[in-house]
Amino acid sequence: MSSLVALNKEQNQVVRMVLQGLNVFFTGAAGTGKSMLLKVIMCELRSKYPEPEGVAVTASTGMAASNIGGHTLYSWGGILPAKEDVESIVKSIHHNSSVLSCWKNVQVLIIDEVSMVDGALFNRLHAIASKLRGKPGEPFGGIQLVVTGDFFQLPPVTKGGKEPFFAFESQAWKMSFHHSVNLAEVFQQNDTCTYNELYVLFVDLQLRKGFIQALNSLRVGKPSPDAIQLFTSLSRPIMRPVTPPRTSNTHKIAIEPGTIKKNIFPTELYPHRFAAAEANLR
């Protein structure tokens, strides 16, 4: 492989299966190298399929998509969240030449943070791909799938308090995936380091090891006594500001009498980062 990152046996197995053209789902707890492995896979696939639309890098949320330099599934696929009828979605895609081209030319679809992808959406994606590519007998119309995430983390968003319908419960998932890998080895990965840098990383790894184990015990809902003791030891007094926060002329914070207690002050919240950045510059 062209990557300079040292992979372990589990990770190399995933890369080999991906390069063989297999549909692969890989998961793992914190510190098992899912993010690093995904970056290696993206690099290898882009070398294999250099065409601009050959490899689609997507994620379930905007933040996750931004972290891997991709798009949300909705954005890439031209799917409106309000539309659930497959025929209507396919019709609208046919009127969008750029999105239609993406569906027809993609070789590999990467989906990160799959735990938040609703099972119904996963079924719709399969149906849409099959219709647009004219291959109803193949999962996702013949598109190779590389999917990752941790189903112990955030579930799909539901309405009305309904139980979540996970992607792995969908019929499309059962049709598509015959290869799943659970990364189990927890370790630190880095590119070539000097001796001093390597020593610092080793010390850091020893300090982090217990914390990662504690996090993983919470991941399965069974915190160990050591984990409980560790998290309890992290309790500390909150650092409070000694003066009220700065406000702008156009965005005043309404402070009602009696609301300021122990130097804790209300603040402004903005739905978009650019709005928060503008407020901070005033």
DSSP assignment of 9-50: HHHHHHHHHHHTT--EEEEE-TTS-HHHHHHHHHHHHHHH--
Tell me if 268 is assigned to some domain.
yes
Tell me if 121 is assigned to some domain.
yes
- Residue 109 shares a structural domain with residue 200: no
pTM, to two decimals: 0.74
Question: What values do phi and psi take at 264, rounded to 5?
Answer: -100, 125
CB of 106 closer than 8 Å to CB of 54: yes
Q: What burial letters (b/e) apply to 254-279, b meaning 16+ CB within 10 Å?
A: eeeeeeeeeeeeeeeeeeeeeeeeee
The CATH number covering residue 80 comes to 3.40.50.300
Tell me if 60 is assigned to some domain.
yes
- Residue 281 shares a structural domain with residue 203: no
Tell me if 3 is assigned to some domain.
no
Tell me if 4 is assigned to some domain.
no
Total domains in the chain come to 3
Q: What is the pLDDT of residues 82-111, one digit of tens each?
A: 777 899 999 999 999 999 999 999 999 999
- Residue 166 shares a structural domain with residue 222: no
Distance CA 114, CA 145 (A): 12
Q: What is the pLDDT of residues 156-182, one digit of tens each?
A: 988 777 899 999 999 999 999 999 999
CB of 152 closer than 8 Å to CB of 96: no
Tell me if 2 is assigned to some domain.
no
pLDDT at residue 193 tops 60: no
| Residue range(s) defining the domain that contains residue 277 | 243-282
- Residue 65 shares a structural domain with residue 173: yes
- Residue 39 shares a structural domain with residue 114: yes
Average pLDDT of the chain to the nearest whole number: 84
Farthest CA pair distance, the chain: 67
Q: Based on the number of CB atoms within 10 Å of its own CB, is 197 exposed (0-12), middle (13-18) or buried (19 or more)?
A: exposed
